[in-house]
Amino acid sequence: MNDIFLKACRGEAVPYTPVWIMRQAGRYLEQYQAVRRKVDFLALCKTPELAAEVTIQPVDILGVDAAILFSDILIPVEAMGMELEFIDGRGPVLSPPVRDEDSLNRLSVADPGEKTGFVMQTIRILRKELEGRVPLIGFSGAPFTTATYMIEGGTSKNFLNTKKMIFRSPGLYAALMEKVTRTLTAYLKAQIEAGAQAVQLFDTWGGIFSPADFREYALPYVTGIIGELRDWLESRNSGHVPVIYYVGETGGLLEEIRSCGADVYGIDWRINLDDAVKRLGGDAVVQGNLDPAALFLPRHGIEERVKDILGRASSARGHIFNLGHGVLPETPPENVVALVETVHHLSGK
């Protein structure tokens, strides 16, 4: 198996910089669109054979060094008892929003085998069909980002309802976060049991906090999940499964996130990678951090950006090349192929 990605996660010496891309399976690929024409998005997530097919597409097309499970961070939220639908032009809609004790009490801590067994079946199919070619990454939302969707009922520009709950009803917020954290912990354990070889926690909206509020209202729940996963793996003598923690708008929170216990820190493009490494500490393993929009540059422009990032990452203990967020739907696929080839070539493959 090409285990360069896993070695980089552990900070081990690697012959070249591995690369994978957030949202590497998606609308920018015609092969993905062909599958989507058959089913809606949620049905695709819940059909293991199709979810496995689109997970593997970028491995074949792009030559990336890891596959990431095709799913959505809101799948376990639906399993907790909320209604979930995806509306074109609007995105995910969750109902009813969780804004009082009655709506919270209607939610349960979801059993991953009972409620999200299709995800585990997808992972089992993938481990078989990938045939050891590249590692498989599982994932979930981080507790805070997951909770924002539940409180807001979908996406938000200012997260007003979320912050009102935090500041006006801290007990309600803590109770919601406890349920969400227990659900996500069990969900990630089930993914690892099914065969995920690394997991990523997406805290896309963590950057809306001040550092002090992030430390109080988001970080402890992430630290709790990572710590419980570590203890659980050790108790089972299951070996090491790397945990990647990605926070959107990372720059203001680096001193906070370095204490969470993750193996790898995902960095967005709003900060130079060498500055991020310096603030995280020289022993950090980092992932990132090309601006997704830079994939609209001509090839020589992409090469310049890659060279700059690789140079800045040289001070880290380990580096996994990625975008600072997900690949944009309008991105030319040939530019994504060029990115992967360039990372491999310039880093020594």
pLDDT digits (tens, 9 = 90+) for 242-287: 999 999 999 999 999 999 999 999 999 999 999 999 999 879 999 9
Instruction: Judge whether 102 counts as a catalytic residue.
Output: no
- Catalytic annotation, pick one of 28, 32, 65, 72: 72
Single out the residue of 266, 225, 222 nearest to residue 246, CA to CA. 266
- Catalytic annotation, pick one of 28, 32, 149, 245: 149
Q: What is the chain's mean pLDDT, rounded?
A: 97
The whole-model pTM stands at 0.97
Q: Where are the beta strands (DSSP E) in 221-268?
A: 243-247, 264-266
Instruction: Judge whether 106 counts as a catalytic residue.
Output: no
What 3-state DSSP class applies to 112?
A: helix
Task: Identify the structural domains of the chain with CATH numbers, from first to last.
Answer: 4-347 (3.20.20.210)
Longest dimension (CA), the chain: 57
Cα 247 vs. chain centroid, distance in angstroms? 9
Instruction: Judge whether 173 counts as a catalytic residue.
Output: no
- Catalytic annotation, pick one of 10, 16, 27, 133: 27
Residue 349 pLDDT > 90? no
